Amino acid sequence: MTGRSVTAYAPATISNLGPGFDILGVAIDAPGDTVFAQRRREPGIGFTLKTNQARVPENAQKNVAAHVARLMLREIKPGFGMNLRLHKSMPIGSGLGSSAASGVAAAMAVNALFTRPLRKEDLLRFALEGERFACGASHADNVAPSLLGGAQLIRSYSPLDVVRVPVHPSLYWIVVHPHLVVLTKKARAALPRRVPLRSAVQQSGNVAGLILALTTGDKVLLARSVEDVIVEPVRAKLLRGFQDVKDAALEAGSFGCSISGSGPSVFAIAPSLSKARDISRSMVRAFRRSAGVHCDVFISRTNDLGARIVWRKDS
């Protein structure tokens, strides 16, 4: 029983993708979080944390990875406990699904040690509870792509219905993460409680156009559809320099640019790796000029695999 151990990796995600608030997200290759899990004879969870990031809870009662693991052990009752070690590489409040990556990596690692592992899709509900624990809302636009890979459409939350959206291989994702913090709870609190019908209709058209453009690789349609008329105008006020960064991305040739999740990360879409590098440099310069901050840059094609086991030891 003891000795079996695994390490799981869960990638960062870009959520909303402009107009798709809480219903669209896509997985990228990096950054991401890693969880090491090992069986132990004692029941319950042992938890340790390894990170250079600030404000990550070390207490197992407050950490999302440990919370997801506890939920799974409580329900499955495998007859043994587990020791977990979270390697937290993603900063909290990055707009890249930081809590989702921790919860998903924990779910993958714990599940791999069960005698009868659940299907990958069945781990989604545990990861959603992790999101509820971390930020008070069980939104799936980060956890679904982090777990399942690719772009995911949350067609319905009640009942939960998640649909994979094929993404054309010609598209590259750019993420520029300024060294700022925008907490998800604060960003959600700023959202409007009522939306004019005209805005709702326009947003629906943009979502439909975006999905079609992602699937077909239609760059012209993509440029018209990465438009958020409801959430971005509100959240842009929380992010210093955003409009300058967006303008810089579009002027450099991006097909679309918006806030990733609740921010402060900003994403853009490019037609090639070389163009993505040019666009990212323009965005970084704009952040430095307008907000006086340094940035991290991540460039990736769509991560179609999502979370995965990267190491395993059976004895």
Residues 253-302: tens digit of each pLDDT: 999 999 999 999 999 999 999 999 999 999 999 999 999 999 999 999 99
Name beta bridge partners: 258: 267
CATH of the domain at 223: 3.30.70.890
- pLDDT surpasses 90 at 187: no
Are 161 and 199 contained in the same domain? no
Query: What is the rounded distance in angstroms from the CA atom of residue 133 to the CA atom of residue 68?
Result: 9
Give pLDDT, residue 287. Answer: 97
Give pLDDT, residue 188. Answer: 81
Are 68 and 81 contained in the same domain? yes
Neighbours of 312 (CB within 10 A): 12
Q: Where are the alpha helices (DSSP H) in 77-226?
A: 98-112, 124-135, 143-148, 184-189, 197-216, 219-225
Give pLDDT, residue 1. Answer: 45
CATH of the domain at 140: 3.30.230.10
Q: Which residues contact 272 (CB under 8 A, 6 or more apart)?
A: 170, 172
Give pLDDT, residue 190. Answer: 82
pLDDT in tens, 155-181: 999 999 999 999 999 999 999 999 998
Pairing of strands 295-300, 5-15: unpaired
Give pLDDT, residue 3. Answer: 61
Are 102 and 178 contained in the same domain? no
pLDDT in tens, 117-134: 999 999 999 999 999 999
Q: What is the phi-psi region of residue 72: left when phi exceeds 0, alpha when psi lies from -120 to 50, beta otherwise?
A: alpha
On whether the pTM is more than 0.85, the answer is: yes
**Cα distances (angstroms) measured from residue 168 to each of 15, 228, 268, 271:** 18, 22, 15, 10
- pLDDT surpasses 80 at 185: no
| Residue 302: strand, helix, or coil | coil
Are 118 and 145 contained in the same domain? yes
Expressed as residue numbers, the domain containing 210 is: 172-300
- Summary mean pLDDT of the chain: 95
Are 158 and 246 contained in the same domain? no
